[in-house]
Structure 1
Amino acid sequence: MAEVKKLKTRDEIESKYKWNIEKVYEDVQHWEKDFEKLKNQALKLKEFSGKLKDPKELLSYLKLKEEVSRLAEMIFVYAHLRADEDTANTTFQTLKNKIDGYLAELGSMNAFFVPEILSLPEEELRKNIKEIKELNMYDFMIEDILLMKPHVLSKELEEVLASVSDCLDAPSNIFGMLTNADMTFPVIKDEEGNEVELTEVNYGTFIRSKDRRVREEAFKALFDTYGKFKSTLTSSLTSSVKNFIFSSKTRKYESALESSLKPNNIPVEVYHNAINTINKHIDSLHRYVRVKKKLLGLDEIHMYDLYVPVIDIPKEHIEFEDAVNIVKDGLKPLGEEYLNIFQEGVNKGWIDVFENKGKRGGAYSWGCYDSMPYVLLNYNYNINDVSTLAHEMGHSIHSYYSRKDQPFIYANYTLFCAEVASTTNEALLIHHLIDKEKDENRKLYLINQELEQIRTTVFRQLMFAEFELVVHESIEKGNPLNNNDLCTIWHDLNVKYFGPDMIVDKEIDMEWARIPHFYRDFYVYQYATGYAAASAFAKSILEDGEKAVERYKGFLKSGGSDYPINILKKAGVDMTTPKPLEATINRFNELLDMLEK
């Protein structure tokens, strides 16, 4: 009998493949010492309450707040990274729990700041900021707070809203409990005829199965189960939407959409433009369906055929060092400085490479203003892992530039910008891999990978965004929606998006019910806008060379020093126009041309 291959423990992983976390704290004793220091320093914050009218006191408070925040970040990052190395290590789990518990307390010590700033006479506040040189850099931060003044309520009403926040979150919690804990799916037969209990996790494998019977069986079993709970799921989603509308009206926004976008100063036109643009070019997705139907050799294409790969390639084994070289080759258009930073990250211990027993799954980029960027991987030697390396290092190098060029208060970038740098790296890498690939089958596989990325990140997410808009606007107008209404809206959108070749099976009508992001209002469109911005950057970098690279690096260096729309516009990507999204759709069409040849 073959020996079972066991997962390595943390100690068995070579140090060159582990992040250099000791650069944050040498050991737990140093961490504990700083934690005590943090708790003592933070107490001084409360002493500034009621004194911020005096510009010298305001400056002293902001300096102390930065000092406390930077220390808290270091403590927080160390505890969480160590805890993620081995989730069974009780020492580091304890550190994590200690700082997590303390941060709520720290937040309450700073809670007076925004209400007090908003209570001050605006012109006097602006005058003080201009006249005191050291306060100048806080100008954008203060203006951002003042922008929200029309939507900040009285102290009493804010307290009331805060006290019912748990109740307002109840629909999301009910959805989570129902779909994660209470809902069970039937047993189906896999490719070998074995009986397997269907779950949300293994559904992703079954829907990509080469065996069409398996795909269809999994598809019907999943959505028929959701259908049995459609009244409850309709109630949870519409209640969530009503709660969001209630909050937006209470805060005097013109619409729920405005209340979601305005805090980042994003015009509502950006949302509408994205949906309108995708609708103008919906025939590109119809063409994709036709091409996929042909390549799969199907007489009819159904919704359960969408995820099956059209091309197979032999399993690969790519060593991590080779992955680094592949990514660097793909990122050569970004220039020597960028590649040197990338290599510095590899050499100096930014990356925790391999899976070990107890290590957290997935991948992320993290760190803080006073640490190096850190990347968690669970590298498993395939091409998707190579792409993940490019993606996460995109985040980390964005953070590296941002922290190097911005003061602490502007070093963090918004969610609207967060996925741009990571996706730009992925776009440059896949362009490079497709262009240099000589093996026809492998080239087609890579082309299909990028097509699927655009289909799922741009077309699919904007279909989701359109559904959200229809539902919110209907309820805002006082039109209640029942389960048949939601299913009809979803069915009609699928018919529109996938076109005449697609048989839109009735089971898909319940798909809206399994999307957790619908409980975070108007969130999903940012996947599409982020991808479109990245696609536009990649195209200009490849076509315009050094000038485009410098503009792009300007974006990476901007952090949160301005609103995301302005930061992108300065770098040459105007998200208030359809151009970035149109560039992505043009790339989609180019890839379809390659696939059809």
Structure 2
Amino acid sequence: MTMVKKLPQRNEVPEELTWDLTTIFKDEADFEKAFEVAQENLGLIDQQAHELNDGHQLLKAIQMLLEVGRQVEKLAVYAQLKNDQDTHDNDSQVQNDRAEALLTSFAEKTAWFEPAVLLIDTDKLDQFYQQVPELEHYRRFLDVIMAKKAHVLSPEVEGVLASASDIFEASAKTFGILDNTDLSFPIVKNDAGQDVQLSQGVYSVLLESADVKVRREAFTKLYSVYEQFQHTLASTLAATVKTHNLSANLRHYDSALDAALAENEIPTAVFTTLIDEVNNHLDLLHRYVELRKQILGVTDLHMYDLYTPLMKTKSPKITYDQAQKLSLAALEVMGPDYVNAVQKEFDGRWIDVIENQYKRSGGYSSGMYDTNPFILLNWQDNLDNLYTLIHETGHSMHSFYSHQAQPYQYGDYSIFVAEIASTTNENILTDYLLKKFADDEEMTKFVLNYYLDGFKGTVFRQTQFAEFESLIHEADANRVPLTADFMNQEYLKLNQKYYGPAVISDPEIRLEWSRIPHFYYDFYVYQYATGFAAATTLAEKIQASDQGRIDYLSFLQAGSSDQPINVMKRAGVDMTQAEYLKDAFKIFEQRLDQLEKLIKG
């Protein structure tokens, strides 16, 4: 009889492979004491005057809000990590719910602050800085708020918009419920010929199958469901787009794109430059697709053939211990201080390594200003998990350096740069592996394939999404009805342009827009592409000179002390210009050339 290998219970996992949450709170009594203090301080916020008539009042309000927010954030991080390590534990669930409720209460009790700041006249605020020099420590903090002044409406209108927020979000919520809960997917065959219930997760696995019949059935049956609901899904997406355009118009922005990017202080040139440069380099994607067709040995390449691994053998086995050694060796180019910090991460139980029953899936980096970073993994012995480890380590080191260098109010970094540090680490690892295993043809193929697929899926695919998102917002602004037929036609044309003649844009792919949740996120996806491209360029600069490394470490230390565009410029990447994208495409082309030569022998 074949024995089924079961996942260990949480209490069966070796302690050295778990994260040490006692560095946040030494025990549950310590957590409860901190919880009581935070609750009491939330009550003090209620007593805070909601008018900011002088510099002393403003300083007191800022310091109080930051201090209580800091306490609440620490509680929330601890509770989330505790819950994620064993989602079946009832006490952890309750604790996490309480912490989330505390976060909600904090948001409600501090909602008055930003409108109150925006009521301060600019000249008056300058007087406050002269009156209370300590306010200078918070100038950037206040500048971010004051930048919204031209786009804030009257208190009455703001009140109406706030009360209608649930209505504005209804279409996105409806999509989420429909996509995650109500859509019923058919039964399909897996690689072993077994019947499995199709789902989003199962679909992504089946598209990697070596059996074309499995891939085709999963593809056609998934989209048969979305085809049935295409008009409903067009309605939900159209409503979301209309909401974005309405909000931008009411707040006197030039467009929904301008409004969305202004939230992170990003000029629209970053977005338009990305679209232009990716379109200028689509010939590289066409070449890669053609190479995939040759390697797979198929007469016709379909959209469902774009995710199956090109290498016939399994991924090389890489244990967690080996992954740590490879990561440390690759990251030596960052300098001894960075490597010592990563060693501290490995030795200090910042990482929850192996999968146990009821542990949250996937991987992430977490933590806050008053804790060390924490990484959640569900380790498997393969190349993909090595990249996950070094990716999440990039996030953690970004947090580690910014928390060390900046005061609390500037300790976090913009979402715009969030993926840059993690992907820079990935690129450095790729360079290291290609050099270390230069004489190992199979390993070299694996690494090249991993990089090229990542570039395809992040730079090209996410830009395709961004271009479609821009297209439908502009269409709605020009009174073009966003029907299912319109979106199907436009998405199919876009897909054909991106992937070129080597791949058949199967009719089902016209419906892909209908299942992408990111289209409800208000111009979010472009940041995946800009981040990946910037990271590719930064990795080259780090390895080219000591100055490149020094500039990069300064980037990690910057936090939110300046606008993200300025932070990146000081690191050597001007993301309003095309050069960093051109540099990234050069590297993609070099590695594509290398894989083509290896394949053709």
Per the alignment, residue 461 of structure 1 pairs with 462
**Take 1:90 and 1:218, find their aligned partners in 2: how far apart are those partners?**
37
Whether contact under 8 Å (2:69, 2:106) holds in the other structure is no
**C-alpha deviation, 1:188, in angstroms:** 2.5
Matches within 5 A, 1:268-307: 268-307=268-307
**C-alpha deviation, 1:426, in angstroms:** 0.7
Whether contact under 8 Å (1:433, 1:446) holds in the other structure is yes
Letter in 1 for 2:530: T
Instruction: Render the CA deviation track for 1:397-417: whole Å, top value 9, x for unaligned.
Output: 100100000010000101101
Per the alignment, residue 572 of structure 1 pairs with 572
**May I ask how many residue pairs the two structures share in their alignment?**
596
Matches within 5 A, 1:59-208: 59-208=59-208
Per the alignment, residue 482 of structure 1 pairs with 483
Describe the SS at the equivalent of 2:387.
helix
* RMSD (Å) for aligned C-alpha atoms: 1.3
Letter in 1 for 2:382: N
**C-alpha deviation, 1:130, in angstroms:** 4.3
**C-alpha deviation, 1:131, in angstroms:** 4.7
**C-alpha deviation, 1:51, in angstroms:** 4.2
**C-alpha deviation, 1:316, in angstroms:** 4.1
**C-alpha deviation, 1:49, in angstroms:** 2.3
Whether contact under 8 Å (2:152, 2:251) holds in the other structure is yes
Identity of paired residues, percent? Answer: 40
- Seen in structure 2, the aligned counterparts of structure 1 residues 4 and 182 have a Cα distance that, compared at 3 Å, is same
1:227 has 2:227 as partner: yes
Per the alignment, residue 535 of structure 2 pairs with 534
**C-alpha deviation, 1:268, in angstroms:** 0.9
Moved more, 60-69 or 337-346: 60-69
- Seen in structure 2, the aligned counterparts of structure 1 residues 579 and 440 have a Cα distance that, compared at 3 Å, is same
**Take 2:560 and 2:345, find their aligned partners in 1: how far apart are those partners?**
23
**Structure 2, unpaired ranges of 5+:** none
Per the alignment, residue 56 of structure 1 pairs with 56
Matches within 5 A, 1:163-562: 163-437=163-437, 438-544=439-545, 546-562=546-562
**C-alpha deviation, 1:263, in angstroms:** 2.0
Describe the SS at the equivalent of 1:219.
helix
**C-alpha deviation, 1:317, in angstroms:** 3.6
Moved more, 217-226 or 309-318: 309-318
Moved more, 159-168 or 310-319: 310-319
**C-alpha deviation, 1:445, in angstroms:** 1.5
**Take 1:174 and 1:315, find their aligned partners in 2: how far apart are those partners?**
39
**Take 2:277 and 2:52, find their aligned partners in 1: how far apart are those partners?**
47
Letter in 2 for 1:240: T
Whether contact under 8 Å (1:430, 1:446) holds in the other structure is yes
Instruction: Render the CA deviation track for 1:375-399: whole Å, top value 9, x for unaligned.
Output: 1111122111111110111111100
Whether contact under 8 Å (2:543, 2:549) holds in the other structure is no
Moved more, 150-159 or 518-527: 150-159
Instruction: Render the CA deviation track for 1:525-558: whole Å, top value 9, x for unaligned.
Output: 00001111111100111222x1100000010000
Letter in 2 for 1:53: N
- Seen in structure 2, the aligned counterparts of structure 1 residues 63 and 189 have a Cα distance that, compared at 3 Å, is closer
**Take 2:127 and 2:294, find their aligned partners in 1: how far apart are those partners?**
68
Whether contact under 8 Å (2:315, 2:383) holds in the other structure is no
Describe the SS at the equivalent of 2:253.
coil
Whether contact under 8 Å (1:49, 1:112) holds in the other structure is no
Instruction: Render the CA deviation track for 1:507-537: whole Å, top value 9, x for unaligned.
Output: 1111111100001111100000111111110
Describe the SS at the equivalent of 1:247.
helix
Describe the SS at the equivalent of 2:196.
strand
**C-alpha deviation, 1:499, in angstroms:** 1.1
Per the alignment, residue 43 of structure 2 pairs with 43
Whether contact under 8 Å (2:417, 2:531) holds in the other structure is yes
Describe the SS at the equivalent of 2:357.
coil
**C-alpha deviation, 1:481, in angstroms:** 2.4
Describe the SS at the equivalent of 2:479.
coil
Describe the SS at the equivalent of 1:253.
coil
Instruction: Render the CA deviation track for 1:74-128: whole Å, top value 9, x for unaligned.
Output: 2111111111111111112111111111221211221111111111221121232
**C-alpha deviation, 1:350, in angstroms:** 1.0
**Take 1:445 and 1:319, find their aligned partners in 2: how far apart are those partners?**
17
**C-alpha deviation, 1:224, in angstroms:** 2.0
**Take 2:51 and 2:188, find their aligned partners in 1: how far apart are those partners?**
67
**Take 1:252 and 1:588, find their aligned partners in 2: how far apart are those partners?**
40
Letter in 2 for 1:263: E
Whether contact under 8 Å (1:313, 1:442) holds in the other structure is no
Describe the SS at the equivalent of 2:263.
helix
**Structure 1, unpaired ranges of 5+:** none
**Take 1:271 and 1:99, find their aligned partners in 2: how far apart are those partners?**
37
Letter in 2 for 1:330: A
Letter in 2 for 1:132: V
**Take 2:304 and 2:106, find their aligned partners in 1: how far apart are those partners?**
49
Please give the TM-score of this superposition, normalised by the length of structure 1.
0.98
**Take 1:529 and 1:174, find their aligned partners in 2: how far apart are those partners?**
30
Moved more, 370-379 or 102-111: 102-111
Letter in 2 for 1:510: L
**Take 1:14 and 1:230, find their aligned partners in 2: how far apart are those partners?**
49
Moved more, 46-55 or 572-581: 46-55
Whether contact under 8 Å (1:313, 1:445) holds in the other structure is no
Instruction: Render the CA deviation track for 1:257-314: whole Å, top value 9, x for unaligned.
Output: 1110112221111111100010111111111111111111122211111111111333
Whether contact under 8 Å (1:129, 1:138) holds in the other structure is no
**Take 1:154 and 1:87, find their aligned partners in 2: how far apart are those partners?**
44
Letter in 2 for 1:486: M
Whether contact under 8 Å (2:464, 2:494) holds in the other structure is yes
Describe the SS at the equivalent of 1:318.
coil
Describe the SS at the equivalent of 1:331.
helix
**Take 1:84 and 1:300, find their aligned partners in 2: how far apart are those partners?**
44
Please give the TM-score of this superposition, normalised by the length of structure 2.
0.97
Per the alignment, residue 586 of structure 2 pairs with 586
Describe the SS at the equivalent of 2:428.
helix
Whether contact under 8 Å (2:394, 2:425) holds in the other structure is yes
Describe the SS at the equivalent of 2:25.
coil
Letter in 2 for 1:456: G
Moved more, 15-24 or 432-441: 432-441
**Take 1:121 and 1:197, find their aligned partners in 2: how far apart are those partners?**
60
**Take 2:50 and 2:299, find their aligned partners in 1: how far apart are those partners?**
73
